[in-house]
């Protein structure tokens, strides 16, 4: 007779993900499966033996669970840039690993890339395996009110014409969004979007976790792989994944994880798109998620399934009378977000199993503990009849222990430090194609450095431009931003966060600059050059500082003529505010980035930079 422990590991997790995801589960998933379009059953070999009826002695309603099967938290992972030319690791490595683990994800293709690369077959295959297809725009540019029709609405139409289930979740390219574009995404028919502003998160007291309440569906907060972009930069790489899940469990919320491609262990990351993860740590993470599900503490599901569950759980009502669960679906949101929700019932007798039947089919049931069961059904499909069974079914495994909660390192420098030898000090001469401005690793760097450019806010304009005969430079400009703004060159990675470059063999920094700054304060005609170090950078943004403070800096005048500026490390002015004012010298062994900042009182600025170097 079949028992729960004889079912392939992860099979029930797969069944549940299929049941609550807005996608059909078909053959090719974990352990194969049926190819129907039901919302209430999973793969055939995830089923248990037929119920052997026995008296449960009566049923009592407890509640509708905050998360599926009364898990303490929810978790979704999304792979961005599917269909991209270098992102083949998504379909070749990620999808098979997800299926093996019984985990369903959100996969975010770029519609135009799918079309241009004739890659719709991989998208359709992934959807048939039970994964949710979410939109990552048409061409992967910053979404603006002007391009939203094409990048959001036309992309959705393109997806909907090629896949089985209409797109309902959107992922902003470069995580850039505005109030206007959030409205455009909602108006196009999406019920959710990954767009939350992470600037107020730190991975400690205020991690990027969404509430269980159905709010800000179109502004879901998230965390990013790789570690240097993560709000958990003080944790070792694998731990940035685990701690994010733990925060969802401990706070009763929803954690959203951003991945891109998956690559073979030891592969060249530059050949696999932005921030790929090696397949072994990826599989370790999936195993952790599976264990957390088996333990009954974390529900992993595609993003739209979580959005729908939050609303349906709130809008739909349930009650139990005799052996029947009945639902109140009069709230319009119950119908709008129709999805299976978990009703927790108690039995008088401690039977091994309770089965639920709805519209002639079996709904998902799981034993949570003595006399306590989760019955998961779509309220809009009618009442559920309950039956006690003398043979086992799906249940939480109380013997399974989660891996310990990760602890942070003492410093990000313990996790990643590269020491310079004092050889070539070149950081960037900008002599490359404009589209390679943010290429990683930066080919213009030397002596172990790899860092590229970033800027804030994204409304500023930054580009490589021709500047004089046979020369290129970086142009940084803006108008009416009414915010502190800066352009940043990292020593390592995309933004230097979570890393340390040891420049003890160098004396200072040198660069050429020209341009203008029009401002109403004493920084009119001036630029603030700051040296960002792990010692002065808040852990909110990938440093070690528990709090906030300024960096070592030098205010320099700027004119329309090119000027070469050399600043010895020893000549940088001490920080003037926050928790760093007691520091007396630059920690040259903990460098993260160089920043050229403009006052928030500037009305316009137009800056050119070139030939940045250490000396």
For the ranges 195-204, 325-334, 604-613, the lowest mean pLDDT is seen at 195-204
Q: What six digits make up the tokens of 386?
A: 């309950």
| Confidence category of residue 458, pLDDT binned at 50, 70, 90 | confident
DSSP secondary structure letter of residue 20: H
- 71-125 pLDDT, tens digit per residue, is 999 999 999 999 999 999 999 999 999 999 999 999 999 999 999 999 999 999 9
- 356-366 pLDDT, tens digit per residue, is 999 999 999 99
Q: What pLDDT, on the 0 to 100 scale, is given for residue 517?
A: 98
Locus of tokens 């949570």: 368
Q: What pLDDT, on the 0 to 100 scale, is given for residue 464?
A: 97
For the chain, give every domain's residue range. Answer: 72-298, 412-614
Q: Residue 78's closest CA among 207, 175, 180, 3?
A: 175
Q: How many CA atoms lie within 13 A of 140 on its CB side?
A: 13
Q: What pLDDT, on the 0 to 100 scale, is given for residue 128?
A: 97
Q: What is the percent of the chain where pLDDT is above 90?
A: 88
Q: Residue 292's closest CA among 42, 576, 77, 538?
A: 77
Q: Please identify, in words, the CATH class of the domain defined by 412-614.
A: mainly beta
CA distances (Å), 139 to each of 109, 110, 135, 489, 526, in order?
A: 10, 6, 11, 26, 37
Determine contact, residues 304/134, Cβ cutoff 8 Å: yes
Strand 223-224 vs strand 192-194: parallel, antiparallel, or unpaired?
Answer: unpaired
Q: What pLDDT, on the 0 to 100 scale, is given for residue 46?
A: 54
- 256-294 pLDDT, tens digit per residue, is 999 999 999 999 998 999 999 999 999 999 999 999 999
DSSP secondary structure letter of residue 269: G
Question: Which secondary-structure segment (H or E) carries 327?
Answer: strand 324-328
CATH 3.20.20.370 fits 72-298, yes or no: yes
Cα–Cα distance between 605 and 516 in angstroms, integer?
Answer: 6
Cα–Cα distance between 330 and 558 in angstroms, integer?
Answer: 66
């Amino acid at each position: 007779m079949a028992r729960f422990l004889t079912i392939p590991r992860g099979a029930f997790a797969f069944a549940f993900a299929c049941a609550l995801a807005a996608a059909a589960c078909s053959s090719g998933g974990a352990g194969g499966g049926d190819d129907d379009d039901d919302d209430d059953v999973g793969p055939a070999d995830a089923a248990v033996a037929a119920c052997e009826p026995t008296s449960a002695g009566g049923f009592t309603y407890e509640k509708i669970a905050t998360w599926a099967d009364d898990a303490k938290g929810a978790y979704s992972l999304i792979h961005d840039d599917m269909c991209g030319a270098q992102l083949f690791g998504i379909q070749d490595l990620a999808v098979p690993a997800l299926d093996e683990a019984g985990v369903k994800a959100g996969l975010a293709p770029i519609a135009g890339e799918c079309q241009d690369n004739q890659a719709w077959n991989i998208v359709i295959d992934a959807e048939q395996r039970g994964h949710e297809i979410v939109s990552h725009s048409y061409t992967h540019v910053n979404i603006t009110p002007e391009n939203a029709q094409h990048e959001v609405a036309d992309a959705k139409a393109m997806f909907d014409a090629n896949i089985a289930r209409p797109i309902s979740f959107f992922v902003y390219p470069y995580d850039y969004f505005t109030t206007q574009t959030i409205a455009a995404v909602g108006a196009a028919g999406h019920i959710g979007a990954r767009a939350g502003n992470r600037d107020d998160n730190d991975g400690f007291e205020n991690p990027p976790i969404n509430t269980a309440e159905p709010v800000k569906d179109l502004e879901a907060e998230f965390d990013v792989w790789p570690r240097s972009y993560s709000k958990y930069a003080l944790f070792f790489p694998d731990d940035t994944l685990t701690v994010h899940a733990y925060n969802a469990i401990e706070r009763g919320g929803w954690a959203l994880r951003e991945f891109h491609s998956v690559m073979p262990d030891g592969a060249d990351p530059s050949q696999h798109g932005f921030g790929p993860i090696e397949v072994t740590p990826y599989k370790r993470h999936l195993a952790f998620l599976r264990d957390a599900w088996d333990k009954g503490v974390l529900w992993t599901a595609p993003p739209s399934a979580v959005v729908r569950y939050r609303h349906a759980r709130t809008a739909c009502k349930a009650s139990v009378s005799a052996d029947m669960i009945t639902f109140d679906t009069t709230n319009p949101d119950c119908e709008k977000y129709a999805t299976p929700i978990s009703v927790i019932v108690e039995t008088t007798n401690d039977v091994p199993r309770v089965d639920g039947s709805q519209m002639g089919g079996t709904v998902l049931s799981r034993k949570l503990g003595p006399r306590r069961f989760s019955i998961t059904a779509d309220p809009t499909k009618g009442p559920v009849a309950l039956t006690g069974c003398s043979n086992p079914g799906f249940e939480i495994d109380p013997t399974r222990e989660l891996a310990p909660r990760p602890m942070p390192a003492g410093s990000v420098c313990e996790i990643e430090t590269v020491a310079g030898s004092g050889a070539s000090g070149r950081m960037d001469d900008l002599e490359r194609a404009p589209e390679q401005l943010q290429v990683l690793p930066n080919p213009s760097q030397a002596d172990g450095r790899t860092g590229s450019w970033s800027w804030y806010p994204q409304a500023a304009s930054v580009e490589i431009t021709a500047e004089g005969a046979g020369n290129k430079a970086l142009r940084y400009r803006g108008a009416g931003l009414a915010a502190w703004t800066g352009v940043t060159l990292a020593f390592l990675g995309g933004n230097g966060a979570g890393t340390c470059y040891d420049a003890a063999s160098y004396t200072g920094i040198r660069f050429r600059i020209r341009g203008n700054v029009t401002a109403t304060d004493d920084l009119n005609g001036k630029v603030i050059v700051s040296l960002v170090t792990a010692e002065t950078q808040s852990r909110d943004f990938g440093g070690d500082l528990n709090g906030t403070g300024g960096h070592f800096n030098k205010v320099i005048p700027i004119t329309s003529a090119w000027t070469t500026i050399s600043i010895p490390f020893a000549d940088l002015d001490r920080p003037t505010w926050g928790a760093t004012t007691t520091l007396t010298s630059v920690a040259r062994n903990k460098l993260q980035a160089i920043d050229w900042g403009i006052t928030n009182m500037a009305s316009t600025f137009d800056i050119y930079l070139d030939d940045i170097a250490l000396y």
